[in-house]
A and B are shown apart, each in its own frame.
Chain A
Amino acid sequence: MKLHHPLAKYVRPGAISTATCSGCGDGIIAQAVLRAIDELKLNIDDFVFVSGIGCAGWIPSPFFNADTLHTTHGRPIAFATGVKLARPDRYVVVISGDGDLAAIGGNHLIHAARRNIDMTVICANNGIYGMTGGQVAPTTPLGLKTTTTPYGNVEKAFDLCALISSAGASYVARWTTYHARGLTRSVKKAIQKKGFSFIEVISQCPLQYGRRTGVGNAVAMMKGYKENSLSVKKASSLNEEELKNRIIVGELVDKDLPELTEQIERVRRGLCARRKKLR
């Protein structure tokens, strides 16, 4: 080959051939994140990537040639909190799946959003527990048959963006793998923004969600994202009935709010100033 993939320089030697299934959206998300870092001309050694257990946890681990912390199930955000508080100068990016971040890890997710701690969380939402064979997740649509809902899911799915917005995050966006360019833009913005940034990416799981549930293959699923998605602006003029089964994509929240590490530093400086005064 004469050409080099522009993002290959960020891939850990020997790790370029990944374990993901054919057509898995994880690879598209991986590219979007690396492209964002590349376009921002940032040094990947200034990042710490933290991921959990599940297919999406393998997006940075071992693929990204950078400091990577692949944690226990559901806890990457808690580990990332420790990393960020101890080294506030690092860009901390959590990349994990919907089950990991919002089911077992839900508590850590909402508290990190509440704290508005400066980190970017990218949630690969495939609506199922893929790695373990296709069990229902809190993001699985009502009615879907999975291996643990053989008669159809009777639970409603989380609206993760609504959840994290109300918890207090300063940046919330939703894209699908079809919207790789919009996703890249959001990742760039999130990395540079001081505060808790949450990006939900609706991502195809062609094997467990697609084939097993009869929804289709990667191409069919991505075409589905294209057809069913609409922008925040367009969605604002539709009613609940019209929005059923539609995916609203774009930036949903973009605020400037007090950020945790800045608040901690402010307290520390205040103590320092008081000490100087007393001397």
Chain B
Amino acid sequence: MDREVLSGVHFMQGDIACAEGALAAGCRFFAGYPITPASEIAEKMAERLPQVGGVYIQMEDELASIAAVIGSSWTGAKSMTATSGPGISLMQENIGYAVATETPCVLINVQRGGPSTGIPSVHLQGDILQARRGSHGEYEIIALAPSSCQEMFDFTIEAFNLAEKYRTVVFVLTDAFVGHMREEIIIPEPEKIHRVQRKLPDPKASRTRLKGFLDEDVAPMPIFGHGFKTHVTGSCHNDTGQRNVIDAEALDYYIKRLKGKIDKHAHEIISVSQDMDEAKIALISYGSCYRAVREALNILKDEDMHQVGSFRLITIWPFPKIQIEQLARRVKTIIVLENNLGQITPYVEAAVGGEAEVIFLPPRVLGTLHDPYAIVDKVKEVIR
């Protein structure tokens, strides 16, 4: 149990797989607060982090949790928190701070029924736009959507790699369904796990003109404790971290460089999984909804119907606009399946731009998985 990577075959809960993924990625700091359906992640990290020389702290609230994660990340440690919608709501100010200061952080949102207290143990994909736009101001984040326990493990590692590479906030947007289900997962040998570490400045770099911020190709991170005399601020700043709260030009530069860092590398960050062949109907989904899509496709294949394919978003943000534009030119109809009232659907519609028909299909009852037969029926209706 003191191994960092529990290589082998396991029957594991999604939340636990996420925690093990974090450890396998090299996470050494977790600060969190109990919340259904994410508490299991905190509990597993509390048990495992001291075993591998890391630190777990239960903070007094979610604002403190994300603050501690950011503080820890500035010492060089891979740091994470896990919560659900209400917790992400509380964290928003500091999420913006992490993005603005280019602090690598991983945030797990095990989504539950909202708004407000809602139903803690019922899953909803209700926080997709919140991840993208929850904090104030103009900014970008990265968000991944696992649909299985294996992906909880794999995508958490990927989240850390993206956070380290792009010095930004990476969300893993899962939900109570995937978080609480149990499936077989395979954890590889440590040598087979690809880990990315943030770039650090040359130790001989000049301390007075050290550019640790606002580089679209990602500035080396001047972490604390190495004599870099780093100044980190959430105020508008320049590429040496020097604050400028006077000039609009400085604000313009600051916003555009932070966004540019993600935009410039969007093609490397965005990940979609397509199973389309020559299909003329595309089922767009992410996260737990994909499970129903896969089952619906199996049913259709059994009935010898091959006009339908799947287009799954692995990264929801940045949004795969170009990929969906290209998809729209190849198909006649796109059905967007989300367990909400349509959060990426308007983005899909905008990307499609009238090139294909877009239909939004939620589950019959929000907070449940789509009935695969309902998906099949919809497809058949479209074909007619």
**Which A residues contact B (CB, under 8 angstroms)?**
12-13, 45-46, 48, 50, 61-62, 65-73, 75, 78-87, 89-90, 107-108, 111, 264, 267-268, 271, 275
Contacts and interface: CB of A to CB of B under 8 A. Distances in A.
Contacts of B225: 46, 48, 67, 87, 89-90
B167 to A, nearest CB: 15
B31 to A, nearest CB: 6
Nearest to A46: B225
B242 interface: yes
Nearest to A110: B60
29 contacts: A45-B227, A48-B224, A61-B233, A61-B243, A62-B242, A67-B225, A67-B228, A69-B224, A70-B235, A71-B67, A71-B70, A72-B93, A75-B67, A75-B94, A79-B68, A79-B70, A79-B71, A82-B29, A82-B31, A82-B68, A82-B71, A82-B79, A85-B55, A86-B75, A86-B77, A87-B224, A108-B67, A111-B60, A268-B53
Given A67-B224, A79-B70, A87-B225, 15 more contacts: A67-B228, A68-B232, A71-B70, A72-B67, A72-B234, A78-B68, A79-B68, A79-B71, A81-B64, A82-B70, A86-B76, A86-B79, A87-B75, A107-B64, A111-B64
A78 B61 CA distance: 10
A22 to B, nearest CB: 20
Contacts of A267: 50
Contacts of B70: 71, 79, 82
Interface string B24-40: 00001101000000000
A271 B228 contact: no
A90 B72 CA distance: 12
Nearest to B209: A13
Nearest to B49: A268
A79 B65 CA distance: 9
Contacts of B243: 61-62, 70
B50 A268 contact: yes
B359 interface: no
Which one of A81, A268, A275 has the greatest number of beta carbons of chain B within 10 Å? A81
Which one of A12, A78, A268 has the greatest number of beta carbons of chain B within 10 Å? A78
Interface string B230-264: 11111100000011000000000000000000000
Interface SS of B by simple majority: mixed
Contacts of B93: 72-73
A108 B50 contact: no
B94 A72 contact: yes
B234 A107 contact: no
Contacts of A85: 29, 55, 57, 68, 72
B339 to A, nearest CB: 32
B162 to A, nearest CB: 21
Nearest to A45: B227
Given A66-B229, A72-B234, A82-B71, A271 B64 contact: no
Which one of B57, B69, B73, B225 has the greatest number of beta carbons of chain A within 10 Å? B225
| 10 pairs of A and B residues whose beta carbons are closest in the complex | A82-B71, A82-B68, A78-B67, A78-B64, A82-B72, A79-B71, A86-B72, A83-B71, A70-B233, A67-B224
B234 A83 contact: no
Contacts of A111: 59-60, 64
B57 A81 contact: yes
B74 interface: yes
B139 to A, nearest CB: 14
B116 interface: no
A67 B230 contact: yes
A85 B71 CA distance: 9
A66 B67 CA distance: 20
A80 B227 CA distance: 18
A184 to B, nearest CB: 23
B278 interface: no
